[in-house]
Amino acid sequence: MMLWIEGAVALTITAAFVISSFFMFKPAHVEHHPLRVRIGAAIQGLVIGLLIAFVILPLRLSVMGMADHHSPSASSSLSYLPAFLLLILIRRGALLRAPVIKTYLRAYRRASLLRTLDETQKQLTRLDQIEGRSPA
C-alpha cells in the first residue's frame, strides 16, 4: 500500500472530527475554551485515523485479496488484535489520563457527553409527549 493513501485517510478522519466539533457542539456544551475542544477533537481524530489508516485499511485490503501478499502489511496480522483493543480503549477514554494531552481530550469528551445528554433529554421529552405523560 502506498503511504500517501494511508496518510490521506488519517488526515481526512482528523479533519472530520475537527469540522464536526464546529457544528456539533453548541456553546452550552463547551464549558472550557473552544480551542481546547477543537484541539481535543483533532487529537482524538488523529489517533483513530492513524489506527484506521495503518491497521484496519491494510487488514481490509489483505482480506479482500487486493494487497500484495509479499507486503509487510500482509504478514503483520499479529498487530490487528491489539489494534482493535486499542480502538476500544480509546473509545472508552483511556487517553484521558495521558500527561500532556489530557486537558484537551477531557474538554472534547466533556463537550461530547454534554451534547449526548442534551440530545437524550430532547428524545425523552418527545417520547413523553407521544405517550401523554407529564414531563418529569
CA 84 from centre of chain: 13
Task: Give the pLDDT mean for 51-71.
Answer: 72
Q: Side-chain half-sphere of 22: how many Cα atoms within 13 Å? A: 6
C-alpha cell at 36: 481546547
At 61, the amino acid letter reads L
State residue 50's pLDDT score.
84
Residue 119's pLDDT band (boundaries 50, 70, 90)?
very high
Coil/strand/helix, residue 86: helix
**Closest to 118 in 3D by CA, of 25, 41, 34:** 25
Buried b or exposed e, range 49-61, using 16+ CB within 10 angstroms: bbbbbbbbbbbeb
Higher pLDDT, 126 or 52: 126
Q: If you search the block for the grid coordinates 477533537, which residue do you land on?
A: 41
User: Which residues make Cβ contacts (< 8 Å) with residue 75, sequence separation at least 6?
Assistant: none
Residue 31's pLDDT band (boundaries 50, 70, 90)?
confident
pLDDT digits (tens, 9 = 90+) for 66-114: 655 555 554 555 567 777 787 788 778 788 888 888 889 889 989 999 9
Coil/strand/helix, residue 100: coil
Asked if 107 contacts 37 with a C-beta cutoff of 8 angstroms, the reply is: yes
Domain-wise residue ranges, the chain: 3-131
Lowest mean pLDDT among 29-33, 38-42, 67-71: 67-71
